Structure 1
Amino acid sequence: MTTTTELSETTLLQFATAGSVDDGKSTLVGRLLHDSKSVLADQLEAVERASANRGQEGPDLALLTDGLRAEREQGITIDVAYRYFATPRRRFILADTPGHVQYTRNMVTGASTAELTVILVDARNGVVEQTRRHAAIAALLRVPHVVLAVNKMDLVGYREPVFATIAEEFTAYATELGIPEVTAIPISALAGDNVVEPSATMDWYGGPTVLEHLETVPVSHDLAHCHARLPVQYVIRPQTAEHPDYRGYAGQIAAGSFRVGERVTVLPSGRTTTISGIDLLGEPVDVAWTTQSVTVLLEDDIDVSRGDLLVPSKDAPPATQDIEATVCHVADQPLTVGHRVLLKHGTRTVKAVVKDIPSRLTLDDLSLHPHPEQLVANDIGRVKIRTAEPLPVDSYADSRRTGSFILIDPADGTTLTAGMVGDSFATATPAAADDDDTSDDDGWDF
């Protein structure tokens, strides 16, 4: 019988690439796709034609991912490019993220669901400011596996001391950040060394290629072992002659597993009942686990609606109206103290007020700037939020899915901020608490 852990480790790995401008991220992704035979013939022909029109010999593999017109014109990655490919050993969802400082928010988006991040470094330049910034974001988002790909080794004569120096410096910094695992691999994405096939010119390196590591890395933070959580997305009542009394609660299991006969609590109401059935793809099952979309049937006829959360009665999170979180601000409009927002957690959206911004994180040296008054685009900081209704939130350290949220502009629906509940960045020195009263009298003070 296949366990949930084995299933998670052999079917899908979500990973992201990051690095400074011109470090070769898109070329690495293109090389992975090309050498793993994951590129369709017509796609390769289109890239070859585009490369020839630009006077380049051979296909420019970066064009396999840089799809926006502005990206091709400027020769840079602007948006997150998602690619899907598979090998006989595993399926992959890859997020190729931008390298520019002003697109830090895009890197946060791409890495937020990643189980592994590949951070590229140009062997000629070594660890630079943007390298440290991306490592800090990986630590902030608690990505459990980090690969340091030291690229363009062909331009430094494939010398081992160059690789060793960079790997040692980066690993020391990553350890300071609290990153649990770093795997350093010397590569040349352009030439294909150690990307899919082992390099014939770096016989001093005995570790895995990039693809080999991606195929074998364990998904150690398997969500099947987290606190079980099912956000209710839809109430199903077909009211047919065959099923006149059918009432099911549909949603995607965010974490953990649920079994028929298990006692569950509906939050935020706190009502308890027992799971009488679970339907998966129209068929009844005894157990379902994380990422599966299911319909749960309950023994008791109680009030359950979209936005509610089903949890095991023995493992229910406390509900709170006061949330402290680390956030990355992604909108051009600043986030300020007193800002009225909508907070979306799972399938539930409630009114909220930003009560305080205790600090802003400087990723270059991991220092805290106390009481910045506002966060602008790409800023990462600590916020205190008061919600209109209690929310059953987990700590992001315990569950990346149910410990995260977004803040939305109530006027136009724009996403303002991505948040992680609790102290997601424990390496920085905490800022002093602010006791100022930020209450308002316009109906949004909770």
Structure 2
Amino acid sequence: MRSNTPASNIKSPTTSAAIEKFMQQQNDLDLLRFITCGSVDDGKSTLIGCLLYEAKCIFDDQVASLKQESITYGTQGGDIDFALLVDGLAAEREQGITIDVAYRFFNTDKRKFIVADTPGHEQYTRNMVTGASNADLAVILIDARKGVIEQTKRHAFICSLLGIKQVVLAINKMDLIGYNESVFHQIHADFESFASQLKFSNITPIPISALKGDNVVNRSPHMSWFRGPTLMAILETAPIPNLANDHGLRLPVQWVNRPHLNFRGFAGTIAAGTVKPGDEVRVLPSGAKAKVAEIILFEQSHDQAQCGQAVTLTLDKEIDASRGDMIVSAQDPCEVSDQFEVDLVWMTEEQGFIGRSYGMQIGSNWVNAQITEIKHKTNVNTLQTSPTRSLELNDIVVAKLSLDKPVAYELYQQCRPLGAFILVDRFSNATVAAGMINYALRRAANVHLQNLSINKPLRHKLNGHRGKVLWFTGLSGSGKSTIADIVEQKLHQQGIRTYILDGDNVRHGLNKDLGFTDADRIENIRRITEVAHLMVDAGLVVLTAFISPFIAEREVARSRFEAHEFVEIYVDTPLEIAEQRDTKGLYKKARKGEIPNFTGINSPYEAPEHPEFTLSTAETSPEQLADQLLAQLDL
């Protein structure tokens, strides 16, 4: 007799128990994150597709769809093109290449996997960095017909830089060279020679054919000379590093949870270590101590929390902590610093320069960071280093950063989540670089601001006026120096203590070592900003007359002063009028190509977007403009 109850709603105790047992088994499997990388057309996407297909990790309807798409988009003459399982973008399918990082999840009876298929083209190096940043193992593919090439070296270097220790050297397309054993051994030797300078702990070479499935999941009948493991065997048995467990508690505070007056918790994802109620913790960078009162997860209290869990901690007493702070074990705290040596991978076409300031995201913390030195950049083909003063797309450099406040950190090679960061353009919000902390500059910890008896308010009282900087900016020949000189004369007559920092005058002394490249201009303004800052602290009204062509540097200058102390004055003069006033003959020389990097001709000038004052010199005399400015200034 057929039951009226739908079969799908009938669950026998045996079936239910089997399902729960299966789910528990899947939950207990550990997870390996790995990437595939190599040059264009080395077969990365094909390899991942073959892994999924041979390991029976795709459904029948996906296989049918794959066969149909192989006819439309495939590159194998109508045969199954495994790469199409991974190349999801239309542009990738049309070109037969990988552009973006493609992530795929699959599992076997022994382990779960997340694989990142990274692009091979040099212009997509930043995408490759993204994929490698969380990987435990790298599968570096080499076309057996081409051997070790530039992109192979670039990707190997990036893998090493990003802390990947385990490498599988998959020498692919062995079917196209007749499964030649000597070629395999020669490529392996060439790669080992290059990689000896890198930080890999082990390199396992495997000869494969991703298209034919040789040594991918099953051992190849065509290479009986190879006695090593298959790729799948390596993936299922490779150790999974977990450096996060080697540290005490590290909880970056993402949110202070205060739904009502009787509850105050600190929410975040544990980046390292474990925590239990009663544990003594410390909040960095302040150093305040307390004990953990309760661990809350999904509205329930727990006896313990571990790395990777998102939790809320309550403490046994009120202490000051906010987003960006770090809750750490009191017995095993991490360090705090505001200056670092770092590895940087430049990820934008916009150049980077020494002295330029960026937003820095490290953990849940957002700070301002300035590149104070570029020690060298690395040629990934030879691993040789060379000096540089600027950063171009895909450059990999060792640099020094100075932050506007201390942050809690770990060295990247010891704890990735707390040693990795990004630099962000503060105006476009574009990510310009990915970075890894090598170490803190110890001398920074020994440098402290001194509390002086005579301070800024006392100096202001003595002078009878506040200190201020009047920042004149505009093209060469716009009239900046002329107007600034008139303004200073009038202020002097009023008994106001002043000083002019003029662009030409300063380059005869303080900045005589600087040229006129973009990097030198940025350093020029940085030095002027610091001198002006000291003078304002002394209670002077400082007038700066510089082209200062870049918005970013003028905004950095503004940030060094209190809100009422910085006045940006845009001397707005059309280029053609500035050229007519060319008393020094500079524009003529620039037009002839005799002066490189001349602002307005072959180097850009970025006009202020929101200056306090705009002075148009086209129809008004400098004397009149000076009077108009002084009538509105609040000194």
Q: Give the TM-score of the pair, scaled to structure 2.
A: 0.64
- What secondary structure is seen at the aligned counterpart in 2 of 1:381? strand
Map of 1:27 onto structure 2? 46
AA paired with 2:330?
S
Once the two structures are TM-superposed, the CA of residue 408 in structure 1 deviates from its matched residue by: 0.6
The alpha-carbon deviation at position 443 of structure 1 amounts to 4.0
Aligned counterpart, 1:384:
400
Equivalent residue for 1:309?
326
2:61 aligned counterpart, secondary structure: helix
Contact 2:243 2:414 in 1 (8 A): no
Match 2:87 to one of 48, 66, 69: 66
Decide which of 85, 100, 124 is 2:145's aligned counterpart.
Answer: 124
Per the alignment, residue 45 of structure 1 pairs with 64
Structure 1 residue 303 displacement after superposition: 1.8
Question: Who is 1:3 aligned against?
Answer: none
Is contact 1:351–1:444 with CA below 8 Å preserved after alignment?
no
Residue in structure 1 matched with residue 422 of structure 2 by the alignment: 406
Deviation at 1:289, TM superposition (A): 1.7
Deviations 1:76-115 (A, max 9, x none): 1111111111112111111100111111111111101100
Opposite residue 362 of structure 1, the aligned amino acid is N
Pairing 1:300–2:321 present: no
1:330 paired residue among 343, 347, 359: 347
The residue identity in structure 2 corresponding to 1:341 is: Y
Q: Aligned-pair RMSD on alpha carbons?
A: 2.1
Counterpart AA for 2:53: H
Distance 1:337 1:444, change over 3 A: farther
Identify if the C-alpha distance between structure 1 residues 179 and 112 changes in structure 2 by more than 3 Å, giving closer, same or farther.
same
Corresponding residue for residue 397 of structure 1: 413
- 1:196 equivalenced with 2:195 (yes/no): no
Q: Measure how far apart 1:267 and its partner are.
A: 1.1
Is it true that 1:14 corresponds to 2:30 in the alignment?
no
Amino acid in structure 2 at the alignment position of 1:149: A
1:260 deviation in Å?
A: 2.1
Q: Which of 114, 122, 126 is the matching residue for 1:93?
A: 114
Contact residue 73 and residue 94 of structure 2 kept, 8 A: no
Matched-pair contact (CA < 8 Å) for 1:353–1:445: no
Q: Distance in 1 between matches of 2:72 and 2:365?
A: 50
CA distance in 2, matches of 1:50, 1:8: 34
Report the Cα distance in structure 1 between the residues aligned to 2:337 and 2:559, rounded to whole angstroms.
17
User: Mean Cα displacement is larger for which, 312-321 or 340-349?
Assistant: 312-321
**Alpha-carbon deviation of 1:318?**
2.6
- Matched residue, 2:262: 245
Map of 1:419 onto structure 2: 435
Which digits, 9 at most, give the CA deviation of each residue in 1:113-166, with x for residues without a partner? 100010001111111121111111111111021110010111111122221221
One-letter code of the match for 2:52?
Answer: L
Q: Which structure features the higher share of helix residues?
A: 2
Counterparts in 2 of 1:270 and 1:50: CA distance versus 1, 3 Å: same
Structure with the higher strand share, 1 or 2:
1
Deviation at 1:36, TM superposition (A): 1.5
Choose between structure 1 and 2 for higher RCO, CA contacts under 8 A separated by at least 6 residues: 1
Residue 112 of structure 1 aligns with which residue? 133
CA contact (8 A) 2:254 2:266 kept: yes
**Is residue 183 of structure 2 the alignment partner of residue 162 of structure 1?**
yes
What secondary structure is seen at the aligned counterpart in 2 of 1:177? coil
1:359-374 pair list within 5 angstroms: 359-370=376-387, 372-374=388-390
Q: CA deviation at 1:440?
A: 5.4
Cα-to-partner distance string for 1:299-334 (whole Å, 9 max, x where unaligned): 111122211111111222232221220110111211
Please give the secondary structure, in 2, of the residue aligned with 1:58. Answer: coil
After TM superposition, give the deviation of residue 25 of structure 1 in Å: 0.4
- Counterpart Cα distance in 2 of 1:346 and 1:207: 41
Larger-gyration structure (1/2): 2
Tell me the residue number matched to 1:214. 235
Distance 1:209 1:202, change over 3 A: same
Q: CA deviation at 1:444?
A: 4.5
Deviates more, 1:148-157 or 1:201-210: 201-210
187-196 vs 216-225, which moves further: 216-225
| 8 A contact 2:247–2:332 mirrored in 1 | no
Q: Is the 8 A contact 1:9 1:219 kept in 2?
A: no
SS in 1 for 2:417: coil
Q: For residue 289 of structure 1, what is the aligned residue in structure 2?
A: 306
How far residue 294 of structure 1 moved from its aligned partner, in angstroms, is 1.4
Identity %: 45
2:324·2:363 contact (CA, 8 Å) conserved in 1? yes
1:159 counterpart letter in structure 2 = N
SS in 2 for 1:89: coil
Contact 1:9 1:218 in 2 (8 A): no
Deviation at 1:214, TM superposition (A): 0.8
- Measured at CA, do residues 347 and 210 of structure 1 come closer, stay the same or move farther in structure 2, by a change above 3 Å? same
Alignment length (residue pairs): 424
1:421 Cα deviation after fit:
0.5
- For residues 419 and 148 of structure 1, the distance between their equivalents in structure 2, rounded to whole angstroms, comes to 26
How far apart are 1:365 and its partner, in Å? 0.6
Q: Give, in whole Å, the separation in 1 of the partners of 2:392 and 2:82.
A: 35
In structure 1, the partner of 2:272 is: 255
Structure 1 residues 423 and 120, CA gap change in structure 2 (3 angstroms): farther
Deviation at 1:402, TM superposition (A): 0.4
The amino acid that maps onto 2:164 is: V
* 1:428 corresponds to: none
Unaligned residue ranges in structure 1 (runs of 5+): 1-6, 425-435
Q: TM-score normalized by structure 1? A: 0.90
CA distance in 1, matches of 2:287, 2:202: 39
Equivalent of residue 145 in structure 1, options 157, 166, 170 = 166
Q: Retained in 2: the 8 A contact 1:232–1:308?
A: yes
Distance 1:330 1:440 in 2: 29
Shift of 1:43: 3.0
What amino acid does structure 1 have at the position aligned with 2:79? G
